[in-house]
Structure 1
Amino acid sequence: MSHFFSDLAPLTFDPNADGIAFRHYNPDEIVLGKRMEDHLRFAVAYWHSFAWPGGDPFGGQTFERPWFGETMKDARLKADIAFEMFDILNAPFFCFHDADIRPEGASFAESERNFREITDIFASKMENHKTRLLWGTANLFSNRRFMSGAASNPDPEIFAWSAATVKLCMDATHALGGENYVLWGGREGYETLLNTDLAQETEHMGRFLNKVVEYKHKIGFKGAILIEPKPQEPTKHQYDYDVATVYGFLKRYGLENEVQVNIEQGHAILAGHSFEHEIALANTLGIFGSIDMNRNDYQSGWDTDQFPNNVPEVALAYYEILKGGGFTKGGTNFDAKLRRQSLDPNDLIAAHAGAMDVCARGFKAAAAMLEDGLLEAERGKRYAGWKTPEAAKMLSMDLESVAKLVDVDGPGPQPRSGRQEILENIVNRYV
């Protein structure tokens, strides 16, 4: 043991605890016929928890971690600390990018050797620890070679490098029993149309994604392939702006039955939507996969990746997830990082424990709302007119035939209240 976390014992569910503990998240509590842990499927993000040094655009590193460095010794220590933290949190899952877990080599071959060594360490640790891999992904954005994108890059050599990196990460995710593989297009977009061929770049992205799906089937990977929608970060325009944009892209390239979405709360807000809207739309389109749970600072207008602390927001998100049948291979990944002033190791544990409690409170509220059925009953009343045979028949009639159904001499139909405030009051009974 490294004792990095001050010999902190594994956290337990104790509503009356004085120190760090779970006060709302009881992994064994049965909700809607299933353990809460199996519903929520929490995951720790390797990058923010163990790789981010605490910098921002106006200041450099604030965190001091014993594994910060560019050697394999540092990477091995980082893996040791990570699994210590997973044990303390009793975390069922974790997620990683390749660049989070290994130092960059002087060549692709050296980076690959470094990566494989650490994934072998992960495999060994997973034999003796509870935590499993929710998903793996490739970092195709940090290195300067990706400044103009990866699959959408104008240089074919970088397209090939990106393909080789994704293949390597897919192989590792498959070998480690990962339940999903995520394509995170950090720089798949453009700064100006003056130097951009939209048609060519989107076509290359479509072909790249088809190759990923083909390779998934070739190696027998049973997990889901996920795209994470993200707007205006960091480029002016992103090709994978939101759920609707991603779905249009998937339809264009015949992948709507092969690829799902990993939706992040912060990205949903930056796209001008609510988190629950993006989840509901993904369920409606049949492409919902998983979520990154975090929040933005609503004063900053940027993706600040903060741990969740708003129970009503979380409740509405989980309500839409439960309405869609809940997670299958997906889960709740904390794509969140400490504030730069939160320097102590135990801040990292406290942040995750608090976030897990917030999610548990929101989830239980969502489950109660769904079980009581008041919202769905109100929704049913609003659309009740479409239950009649006459109304249902209209959808299969031509426009002229529907027009003939109007009583042209009558006063015309009158609107009915949408009862929004009443529905909001119902939600407030639970949260």
Structure 2
Amino acid sequence: MTTGFFDGIDKVRYEGPDSDNPLAYRHYNPDEVILGKRMEEHLRFACAWWHSFAWEGGDPFGGLTFERPWHPQDSMANAKLKADVALEMFDILGQPFFCWHDADLRPEQGSYGENLATLDEITDYIGAGMEGRDLGCLWGTANMFSHRRWMAGASTNPDPEVFAYAAATVKGCMDATMKLGGQNYVLWGGREGYETLLNTDMGQELDHMGRFLSMVVDYKHKIGFKGTILVEPKPQEPSKHQYDYDAATCIGFLRKYGLENEVKLNLEQGHAILAGHSFEHELAVAASEGMLGSIDMNRNDYQSGWDTDQFPNNVPEVALAYYHVLKAGGFDTGGTNFDAKLRRQSIDPVDLIAGHVGGMDVCARGLKAAAAMLEDGGLEDALAGRYADWQTERGQGILASDLESLQAQVLREGLDPQPRSGRQERLENYVNRFV
């Protein structure tokens, strides 16, 4: 028996590039082998419970536009209906994973104890629904930014009792993630930052954030959680400045508190843009330090100043992102989570399917282009050629020298090095051959 929410919508299947069926995959063929691995295993798609099912269509200037059968989201009966609809959508799309915040799954009950009980109840219900399905939990996390108690942060809050409440909340969510077989646990500091330095002790807040994350790692080992702990960089919105600004900032933070071997990064395309970076930049930074864990795939509207979380539709951008993922060895416990939501005018159930179908196809097309570039080796050859002189005896000697010796060498040899072309246009043309 189905909920009827997706009545008339069949299971989405791969039909090939020439298909004109708007609800068919043109590029996402889960069984296609790329670089020795099935496409499904490369991409490891996940659906975001919050945007697909919990989000009501609001924006900074207006509220609910979606009218769903599980609204209002204030009872366990509606939470279970929402879960049933989610499981039906995963069946239709063939997505192997999902991700969640605690507040997406359960109704807000008021007290911590009541919320913990309803989280336990709903995750038992979802777990039962997963039986017999080829479906897993990519990661879980705690919503510690929406409720008014988090307005001054969670682990960075000036109130010790809020810190304690946050610790209890994360413990409950880690337990639930482990129960659902989650492959990662994510911490996203939505309000771990400040609005004004007039009332902020930044050093103390960062120390508390480091201590909190150490507690999370300790608990992971205590319960035998085999997944990866991930932190998600985001520069702003809602805080004026957030401590997890970008990949480089998070890596510096992890190294400062001795957590660089315990925690990796979950990187989002939209957050990269808010930080003034490209997604490929963030991926390359994390990969260079061995800290690339997982990704949230979406896009921002380049004319808007906030995190619009749209489904991806730019194959060249996505191809360069997966190029760095593949170059780093691909995903281990991580995957591609669609932290993407419909436009608030897209109110029909079929729009939710179409958004995911389009996003999955864009990622699949980008993955194929990235793999083709890696197999061709043109970018790698160009990169090796640009730095080739560093591999010579002369180059290594310069690197091992000191200022006085190098000054003497320049004077002795009359060195006057001339600039060399970076060949950017030729490399951009090369990439365009594949996308």
TM-score range, shorter chain: over 0.9
In the alignment, residue 2 of structure 1 is paired with which amino acid? Answer: T
In the aligned structure 2, how far is the partner of 1:121 from the partner of 1:86? 16
Task: Flag structure 2 segments of 5+ consecutive residues without an equivalent.
Answer: none
Whichever residue aligns with residue 353 of structure 1, its letter is V
- From 311, 324, 345, the counterpart of 2:349: 345
> Which residue does the alignment assign to 2:55?
52
Structure 1 unaligned regions, length at least 5: none
Q: Deviations over 1:117-148 (max 9, x none)?
A: 01101211121211100000000000000000
Of the three residues 80, 86, 101, the one matched with 2:84 is 80
Which of 39, 42, 49 in structure 1 is aligned with 2:42?
Answer: 39
Aligned to 2:95: 91
- 2:260 matched to 1:259? no
Shift of the alpha carbon at 1:332? 0.4
Letter in 1 for 2:409: L
2: CA distance between counterparts of 1:156 and 1:348? 41
Aligned to 2:279: 275
SS of equivalent to 1:291: strand
CA–CA distance in 2 between the matches of 1:407 and 1:226?
51
Shift of 1:387: 1.1
Residue 178, structure 1, aligned to residue 182, structure 2: yes
Quote the Cα distance in structure 1 between the aligned partners of 2:230 and 2:369: 28
Match of 2:111 in 1: 107
Shift of 1:402: 3.3
Partner letter of residue 57 of structure 2?
G
Equivalent residue, structure 2, for 1:297: 301
Q: Distance in 2 between matches of 1:409 and 1:37?
A: 57
Deviation digits for residues 321-348 of structure 1, max 9, x if unmatched?
A: 1111111111000000000000000100
Q: Secondary structure of the residue that 2:325 maps to in structure 1? A: helix
Question: CA 1:19/1:315 → structure 2, altered by over 3 Å: closer, same or farther?
Answer: closer
Give percent identity, aligned residues only.
68
Q: Does 1:203 align with 2:203?
A: no
Pick aligned residue for 2:32 from 26, 29, 34 = 29
- SS at 2:311 equivalent: coil
| Partner residue of 2:383 out of 376, 379, 382 | 379
Q: Say if 2:415 is the partner of 1:404.
A: no
Match of 1:11 in 2: 12
Contact 2:106 2:122 in 1 (8 A): yes
Say which is worse superposed, 131-140 or 6-15, in terms of deviation.
6-15
Question: Residues 230-269 of structure 1: matches in 2 within 5 Å?
Answer: 230-269=234-273
Q: Give the letter for the 1:64 counterpart.
A: E
Alpha-carbon separation, structure 2, partners of 1:405 and 1:277: 36
Q: 2-side partners of 1:319 and 1:402: how far apart?
A: 38
Question: Secondary structure at the residue paired with 1:38?
Answer: helix
- Deviation at residue 301 of structure 1 after TM alignment: 2.1
Aligned match of 1:286: 290
| Equivalent residue number for residue 136 of structure 2 | 132
Could you tell me how far apart the structure 2 residues matched to 1:384 and 1:356 are?
38
Closer, same or farther: CA 411–249 of 1 in aligned 2, 3 Å: closer
1:243-284 CA-partner distances (Å, limit 9, x unpaired)? 010011001100011110000000001101100000001000
Query: What TM-score do you get using the length of structure 1 for normalisation?
Result: 0.98
Residues 271-298 of structure 1 show CA distances to partners (whole Å, capped at 9, x for unaligned) of 0110000000100011110000000000
Letter in 2 for 1:91: Q
Whole-Å separation in 2 of the counterparts to 1:7 and 1:328: 36
Whole-Å separation in 2 of the counterparts to 1:301 and 1:353: 27
Q: What is the distance in 1 between the residues matched to 2:56 and 2:301?
A: 20
Q: Shift of residue 403 of structure 1?
A: 3.2
Q: CA deviation at 1:19?
A: 3.8
Q: Which amino acid aligns with 1:348?
A: L
Partner of 2:231: 227
For 2:149 and 2:399, locate their aligned partners in 1 and report how far apart those are by CA, in whole Å. Answer: 52
Q: What is the SS of the residue equivalent to 2:185?
A: strand
Partners of 2:269 and 2:408 in 1: CA distance: 46
Residue range with higher mean Cα deviation, 6-15 or 101-110: 6-15
Counterpart contact for 2:184–2:229, Cα < 8 Å = yes
> Alpha-carbon deviation of 1:385?
0.2
1:420 aligned partner: 424
- What are the Cα deviations for residues 150-188 of structure 1, in whole angstroms up to 9, with x where unaligned? 000011111000000000001111121111000010000
Letter in 2 for 1:25: Y
Alpha-carbon distance in structure 2 between the residues aligned to 1:221 and 1:400? 53
From 192, 216, 232, the equivalent of 2:196 is 192
* Count of residues paired in the alignment: 431
Secondary structure of the residue aligned to 1:65 is: coil
1:119 alignment counterpart:
123
Q: Tell me the distance in 1 between the aligned counterparts of 2:296 and 2:145.
A: 18
- Residue 63, structure 1, aligned to residue 66, structure 2: yes
1:211 maps to amino acid: M
Q: Distance in 2 between matches of 1:58 and 1:104?
A: 24
Aligned to 1:142: 146
Q: 1:321 aligns with which of 311, 322, 325?
A: 325
